[in-house]
Chains A and B, each alone.
Chain A
Amino acid sequence: LAKTTQPISMDSYEGQEVNITCSHNNIATNDYITWYQQFPSQGPRFIIQGYKTKVTNEVASLFIPADRKSSTLSLPRVSLSDTAVYYCLVAGSGGSYIPTFGRGTSLIVHP
């Protein structure tokens, strides 16, 4: 069961790029890395998922080094509406899937 570690909080300003790193030293071969965003009193929302190297979609990029023991979520040009809690989830495929969340990172974007 991979355990994740993230910074508890981060501050940024509108228009800046934000990088949030998650450590998962015990990641297993069949584990995928998924990042979620959560606003208060809402369920988490999928941002991006990857297995290795780099993944990019319309809202974010995910960088995963070769050893896969960490991952970095990159949010380009954040806005006030990106203020939220961000979670990285490391979980495997098939029958070993137990989606346990870590503490998450509270990102505050300032004007």
Chain B
Amino acid sequence: AQSVTQLGSHVSVSEGALVLLRCNYSSSVPPYLFWYVQYPNQGLQLLLKYTTGATLVKGINGFEAEFKKSETSFHLTKPSAHMSDAAEYFCAVTSRTGRRALTFGSGTRLQVQP
């Protein structure tokens, strides 16, 4: 069975500071990995995903994430936070075979202070 752990339900950074949102997964085989963002009262929007190939993945809005198999991690980063980045971020995994449904982490709410 797969699981996802997001460390820190709330993260607060200053505008212009580095954003680091942590995600660790548990899976018998390396899964596909995703980061989604949810703005208030909206659905989820894909930020980036890792399926195969280069382990550093670049997404929208300046975000990137690195798949580290040895650490079973897929942390999300952005060099410089913007006020518009304030939202909830979800890490998710899905199996490379079999059932396709995403398993989500519990989410991290990012606050950006002026």
Asked if A pairs with B, the answer is: no
Give B contacts to A, CB under 8 Å.
Answer: none
